[in-house]
Amino acid sequence: MYYGFRFIMLFLLVFSASCASTNGPAPGDLPKPKIALVLGGGAARGFAHVGVIRALEQEKVPIDLIVGTSVGSLIGAIYAHDLNSFELEWTAFSLEKEHIFDFAVLSALTGMGPVKGDRIEEFVRAKIPVANIENLKLPFAAVATDLNRGTRVVLDRGSVAKAVHASSSIPGVFNPVEYQGRYLVDGGVIDNIPISVAREKGADIVIAVDISENVANFNIANLFDVMIQSVNIMFAENVAYKKRDADILIAPAVGNVAMLDFTQKKRCMQAGIEATQRAMPEIRKKIEEWGRKIEAESK
């Protein structure tokens, strides 16, 4: 009886092992894709990006590259520096409108916008002690627009502060940034959700975050409001067709948060967390499908 029992157990173990081998490797043993996180522009709604990153970190989804436009470049650069979502959250909570918009009468009269942009560089330098993008812990690129040539500019080397400043310089509001021999403005003018940049940098899977939904604004009272709203409409329009190229699109429910409302930080972060949690089954599915495809191709 004893030997019969041992024989049965041995048979079951061998059978189980053979079944496992015919089904292919377990998800944890599959090749790992290069995953890019693309963070779109949307001013104060960008606090949702913080929630997205926190949820991805908690779910242990690896991020191998960050590409950001406008506020997406700011949030992305801060995270790329120390890869800590809790530190990112604290930093985001300290960010106020005056850290970005340094209005100056002289700039408005003699420059090309009422906002100089010096403060956003000061904020970045204070929060990111390394000077250059190459020294960040995670590969990072900010997207800006060449104002003279009307072309996309990918800033993946050089000053972190200048790159974020250029990527965030809303035309007509900020003075253009003179950098690397060009006049640069907000990347959202040409690519508010730069999925193509992530592809060009070798991303296998692109997780993109769109915060441009619903640009309706019925509180337009001055020239500054007109400029901001006009730019927001333009940004949302170029996202409409480009976002389809993402493998996973995360769209936090921040459509009713005004672009310059910095009082809704916690709400935006929570919306980012919830949207990412809803997307997790699809994210895991895409990662596993990619791994199985590469595994099959290598045989």
Q: From the CA atom positions of the chain, what is the Rg in Å?
A: 23
Residues counted in the chain = 299
Helix (H, G, I), strand (E, B) or coil at 129: coil
In DSSP terms, 264 is beta-bridged to none
On whether the CB atoms of residues 132 and 69 are closer than 8 A, the answer is no
Confirm whether 212 is a catalytic residue.
no
Confirm whether 16 is a catalytic residue.
no
Q: What share of the chain is helix, strand, coil (3-state, %, to 5)?
A: 55, 15, 35
The token duo for 161 is 């502060």
- Please identify which of the residues 70, 85, 159, 168 carries the catalytic annotation: 70
Amino acid at residue number 19: C
The residue behind tokens 């949820």 is 55
Distance of alpha carbon 169 from alpha carbon 71, whole angstroms: 10
- Please identify which of the residues 64, 85, 169, 186 carries the catalytic annotation: 186
Supply φ then ψ for residue 66, to 5 degrees: -125, 130
Closest CA to 255 of 287, 223, 216: 216
Q: Which residues are catalytic?
A: 70, 186
